[in-house]
Amino acid sequence: MSDKRIHSALISVFYKEGLEDIVRMLHKLDVKIYSTGGTFNFINELGIPAEKVEDLTTYPSILGGRVKTLHPSVFGGILARRENSEDLAQLEKYKIPEIDLVIVDLYPFEETLKTVDIEEEIIEKIDIGGISLIRAAAKNYNDVLIVSGTDQYSDFLKLLEEKKGFTSVTERRHYATKAFQTSSHYDTAIFKYFNRQSDIPAFRESINSSYPLRYGENPHQKGIFYGDPGQIFDKLHGKEISYNNLVDLDAALNLIDEFTLPTFVIIKHTNACGVASRGNAMDAWKDALACDPVSAFGGVIVTNVPVDEKTADEINKLFFEIIIAPGFSEPALTILKQKKNRIILVRKETISNDYIFRSLLNGVLWQQKDNSTELAPDMKPVTPRTPRPHEINDLIFANIIVKHSKSNAIVLAKNNQLCASGIGQTSRVDSLKQAIEKARTFGFDLKGAVMASDAYFPFGDCVEIAHNAGITAVIQPGGSIRDNESIDYCSSNDMAMVFTGIRHFRH
């Protein structure tokens, strides 16, 4: 199929930025322009002739601008199939001109949602004519080219300049694909707005921005991140961020956001291998690293305080993939940039998603995000001895970490420091034994430490093992038909145990 020349264009846009060069090029190529309202005025002020759509339809813009282009004289000229004699005969009969190019954008519905909470104003930003023009022109890509957003202006102008107003069906189909991307994204945003009240069980997500990755979880897998990581952090240094880096960053940021004291977290394969909260950055870093300096090698480091020179000097002694913090002093950056591949990120925003989803089987699994963090008032004592004040602090600390650990998960903590965790085991007893062994390997004295479990203990064996290791207080959801076994053992051995009623499975 040979290239087709653009003879006429319909232009109706909300945003005028970048439009002038296109209009001037169309005029230079002797393209007849039809336009509406503010766009017509914009083109007229450039000294370029254009015809009002109202003159074409013989109807003015009505209903406060709600109806402008919705007319057979417009849509007939867009949808007519140029190689269909009956279509062409009808155009001639009703004196409808062919329209070969449509440039249109949409009312800023998503942008309005960010700043307006008055429904009447939001509803008025639901585009009707624009979305209809986009779909019509895209449907008839064999004959019509559709430019459906300002992000396409640069490429389209280049196409006009290079091909002097001619386009191929391949090019028109490409722009049609972009048009349906625009329309589907727009409709998804509107549906999600309305569905906040209706709660129709239908899955809809649309993300237009993408971040190409070197590969997926493994080098033989392709990977793309759909979203804008630039909203979350600024990259100051290092190699390209990988799929696994992003997964670990998500785990790291979700965990660090639970803490208010100066805290360092070290993540390895989405699990914390080092966590400590202290009065300053240096002490927090040293104690976080002490949890498991072996696993920390090649990990992801996150903190909720700016990194100073002395702390950076200590951190620099470790090989790690990424560090992300609210800020870095200039001397700290100089130190940390000594490794060219080391990724250094400055945190910008907190993660605010209220839900998470994943693809599996032949669909998508959706759930609310686990935003429950149990504090002292949420703890129900079930033993004669209640936790002492320092134990309560450690129980909160340990329970936060276990919430963000792979099940089955056990966390041992003392003095706002992770001693060890047992994660991802098929048996809760195995998780506990793993944690105890690791804590002892790195020289931790578990006497007076606390234990957190992401789910209930099915038998009394775990609290017995913990007691023999020196654990004095336990936090768990409770809910086992054998809870009394654990309660009775703790009660008989001066251990404090509290139930939260909240399970934190993480698969």
Residues annotated catalytic, as ranges: 139, 269
The position carrying tokens 């499975």 is 505
CB neighbours of 257 closer than 8 A, spacing ≥ 6?
Answer: 304, 350, 351
- Structure tokens belonging to residue 223: 């990977």
Q: Which helix (H) or strand (E) holds 366?
A: strand 363-368
Q: Distance (Å, rounded) from C-alpha 151 to C-alpha 148?
A: 9
Q: How far is CA 129 from CA 21, 66, 103, 134, in A?
A: 24, 8, 12, 9
289 CB-near residues (< 8 Å, 6+ apart): 264, 266, 274, 296, 318
Q: Report the SS3 class of residue 321.
A: coil
- Tokens linked to 84: 């269909």
CA distances from residue 349 to 250, 304, 352 in whole angstroms, order as listed = 12, 12, 9
- Tell me which residue has tokens 């991140």: 225
Query: Cβ of 358: how many Cβ atoms within 10 Å?
Result: 9
Please tell me what DSSP assigns to residue 374: -
Three-state SS for 267?
A: strand
- Say whether 89 sits in a helix, a strand or coil: helix
From the list 355, 373, 432, 354, the residue with the least C-alpha distance to 255 is 373
Three-state secondary structure call for residue 256:
helix
Residue type, 78: I
Question: Using an 8 Å Cβ cutoff, are 452 and 428 in contact?
Answer: no
The HSE-up count of residue 246 (CA atoms within 13 Å, CB side) is: 20
Which helix (H) or strand (E) covers residue 169, if one does?
helix 169-198
- In single-letter form, the type of residue at position 443 comes to G
Q: What is the DSSP letter of 208?
A: -
